[in-house]
Amino acid sequence: METHDFIGRMSLGLFNKWAGAGLWLAVLVVGLGGFAWSALGAPPDEAQELQDLQFAKRLFLQLSYPQAESSLNDFLAKYTNSPRRAEAILYLARTRLDQSNFNESINMLLKASAGAGALQPDYVFWIATARAGAGDLTGAAEGFARVARDFPLSSLRLEASYDEAEVRSRQGDWPGVIGLLQQTNNPFQIAAGADGKNKFAALGRLLLGEALLYERHPDDGEKVILGLDQSALTQDLRWRIQYLLCRLQLAGGKAEAALAASTNMFKMDLDPPRQASSLLLQGDILEKLGRPNEALGVYAKNLAESQPPDAQRQAMARTIQLTVAMNSLTQAIPLLEPLIGKRSPQAPAQDLARVSLGELYLKAAAAAQTNLTLLAGALTNFNLVISNYTNSPLLAKARLDRGWCDWLSSNTPAAKVDFAEAAAHLPLSPDQAVARFKLADAQFMLTNYSLAASNYGLVLTLYDKMPEVTNTLFDLALYQIAEADIQLGDTNGARAAVEKILQWYPGNYYWDRGSLLLGEDLNRKDDYAEARKVFADVLERSPHSPWLPALQYAIARTYDFQSNWSTAITQYREWETNHPGDALLPEVDFHLALACGKAGRTNDALMGFTNFLARFPSNALAPWALNWVADYSYNQKDFSLAEKNYQKLFYNYPWAGDLAYQARFWAGRSALANQETKDATDYFTNLVSFTNARPELLARTWFALGDIFFQQFQASQTLADLNQAIDALTPFTNGAPTNTIAVEALGRLGDYFRAWADKHDTNTLPIAWQMYETVVNFPPGSVSAAARCQAEVGLGLVAEREHNPKLALTHYCNVVDNKYGPGNIDPYWMERAGEFAARLCEDMQHWGEAAKVYERVAEVVPALRPLLEKKRAAAQARSDAEGR
């Protein structure tokens, strides 16, 4: 419906009123001058007054409003008692109205209305017109109604009754429009019946037809339009009538009749906007008739770059929608690509086309679970809009869409930038809400939990009047706030968000999930009793919750975390009975077996893990179950079975990451324990080739290789084996040895160089000494007890090799007497140091000292007491006998 233009009709109305005697009289006055008035018998001053008014009115007719306004002001100032003042004021008000000075026009007419006389209906009419221009539609409607009702003889009655209906249409009061224009006793029908060929009679019936269309009475509207006499109407009105007739017939299910009627529009000499509207309507009719290809052909005519921009946009939108409706997304894209690609980048609808095509790519990519090729197509189109159409109203939407591409590509930093831009520049709308929500998601993913919580909160406050947002995003936003607060350590904030979910969305999925999240956080904080309360509360409120299995499992886990193995095992077994087909079953089975192992029920644990591997061989926990079984075999000294299971782990589960690398290491250790040195060497050599493995594990592997080569040297006394042992550990000591791995390597290399001295060259003894001494001199706490004790023993052995038994005894006793304080005792090296110290004491016949050494070692390593007691007693007896 085209808005009726009151202001545009002002000059036309005035022209019609003065096109008769008034106008020729004005011409006559101008032509004859003062002589004419004398001939007519009018006084000269009255003739001049009339001439001045006619001159001002002529300027008004010529649309020279400022000049007309000036002339009318002069007239009113000059002729203060003129009987024509009311007319002059009316035209002065209208000049201001035509210059959009609506309030001045209204005030002027209201102030002078008491003296309007016969022009009273004109005053009321133009006040109403000015009010309509100022946006006071209610006041305008009342004014037009007054003209039509109170001034039945006014020439403005028909126009005013139409204008009232037109204003009501702008207010959306279509039933009111129908009542004003259709009822036979209303002013419009009476005035139109008296002057049927008046254009306002046609406009009123046209508006009535439109109102009937809006109120879903298309058949009644069609009858009104078909009853119009179009013989005296302008082509523009005839087109509007034909256009509305097609719409009414289409709405009434008469698509074939509408199509036939549409051809009449194209028989007229249409301007581009009318032609474009006609084409769009005809395409719509063809769509309704199920002739989509013909509809696309019609829309293609509107895609010509000579067509009005709005028509191109509508045609492009319809073309894209129809092409997608006729094809799948992946079929529609190659059909639209050439159509859009061949258009000039400056084409009015090109930004719309690129955004729409990009969204098709994006939807197809999402449907294909993030197809990178399709995502690239989407990005290409959104980038073109963002780069080339910087003033486009779709720019912010393209930013939002590009943000989705970044998100699906896991490019979270880029997604954050685009979502932020979209949120800042989109109008308040569901799209802006989505942009802000995704901005919060990106901030959450980037661990900026405070900003994420803030933006989730803005979603709740800015869009609370939008059902599209409150029904789809609010519960999830509250859940995300709870998760962000948990990450920030704000348990109270998280609890408040979860409680709000319950308050706003009782029984909602996210309340149960949020409560579970809150309880899990309490578990992480070791508040197991409070966590159980949270889980139990959910179970009480939502006994049929889809999260019931997860909640009951979480309760069992609280006992597990508290090391209450017995209750945890009972809970796990009850869970298995109650939820035998749940997706959590593998996880529960695994933790049941693990709890049995921790409770010392190793047979139950072994059976549980063995059954787990049989039932869930591809589960993510399967390698961990297999690792437990392999560890069990190793601890039981069944090294062959342990090696087999470790080998199965890294072959079957290479994706297990560090656990798979550890399995290779322990397979080597198992082979070594089984005296399969070559197999062990192969495992270790293979493992050190995996540069992605943890440095600590690779270091232990190199140590193991060094020990193997050293053992081979001890068996073969071949220097090549010893060289391999040295080469295995030397890289760890290159540069300044400042870490624990380097320190341990120094101690082990000291052993290797000491062995080299025994076999080949005593000149390496100082090297061994320096290495041991470096380890010993490291600050307390930076060296393990085993490494320090091993180095002290090494120093003692070097001292003995250099025939310095007293110095050797000092170093052995540093270990035996625990020179380095509590926590720095290693049982193995205590035993070795005690053995060597006692031997030296006995060699020097210091029997009492030897007895003390045996006693000290027995205190630290009680398992050796039976053996050492005999030696201690023998040494003590010699001491007593010999007095030393």
pLDDT in tens, 99-149: 999 999 999 999 999 999 999 999 999 999 999 999 999 999 999 999 999
Cβ atoms 591, 617 nearer than 8 A = no
Q: Is there a contact between 285 and 258 (Cβ–Cβ < 8 Å)?
A: yes
Burial of 655 (0-12, 13-18, 19+ CB in 10 A): exposed
Query: Per-residue confidence at 512, pLDDT binned at 50, 70, 90?
Result: low
Residue 62, CA distances (Å) to 10, 56, 59, 65, 434 in order = 12, 10, 5, 8, 54
Q: Is residue 150 very low, low, confident or very high in pLDDT (cuts 50, 70, 90)?
A: very high
Average pLDDT, rounded, for the chain: 84
User: For the segment 26-66, what is each residue's pLDDT rounded down to a tens digit?
Assistant: 332 333 333 333 334 445 478 899 999 999 999 999 989 99
Q: What is the pLDDT of residues 438-480, one digit of tens each?
A: 999 999 899 999 999 999 889 988 988 888 887 778 777 877 8
Helix axes 585-598, 622-635, angle to 10 degrees: 20
- Diameter over CA atoms, the chain: 174
Using pLDDT thresholds of 50, 70 and 90, give the confidence band for residue 419: very high
Q: What are the pLDDT digits (tens) for 192-202?
A: 888 878 889 89
pLDDT value at residue 40: 40
Contact 154, 147 (CB under 8 A): yes
Q: Which residue has the tokens 């129908």?
A: 178
pLDDT in tens, 771-793: 888 888 887 677 888 888 888 89
Alpha carbon distance 783, 342 (integer Å): 73
The mean pLDDT of 290-294, rounded to a whole number, is 91
Considering only CA atoms, which of 632, 741, 633 is closest in space to residue 695? Answer: 741
Is the pLDDT confidence value at 506 over 70?
no
Phi-psi region of 135 (alpha: psi -120 to 50; beta: other; left: phi over 0): left
Distance of alpha carbon 834 from alpha carbon 865, whole angstroms? 12
Q: What percent of the chain has pLDDT over 90?
A: 41
pLDDT tens-digit readout, 76-95: 999 999 999 999 999 999 99
Q: Could you write out the three-class secondary structure of 279-346?
A: HHHHHHHHHHCCCHHHHHHHHHHHCCCCCCHHHHHHHHHHHHHHHHHHCCHHHHHHHHHHHHHCCCCC
520-561 pLDDT tens trace: 555 555 656 766 776 666 656 666 666 678 777 777 877 877
Write down the pLDDT at residue 18.
Answer: 30
What does pTM read for this prediction?
A: 0.55
**Least confident range of 13-22, 170-179, 638-647, 801-810:** 13-22
Q: Which of 240-249, 708-717, 793-802 has the lowest mean pLDDT?
A: 708-717
Residue 11: pLDDT band (50, 70, 90) is very low
Residue 507 falls in which region: left (phi positive, over 0), alpha (psi -120 to 50) or beta: left
In this prediction, residue 661 carries a pLDDT of 94
- Decide if pLDDT at 812 tops 80: yes
DSSP state of 655: G
What's at 215, amino acid-wise?
E
Q: Look at 182-186, 584-588, 694-698, 711-715 and tell me which has the smallest mean pLDDT.
A: 711-715
The rounded distance, in Å, linking the Cα atoms of 657 and 650 is 9
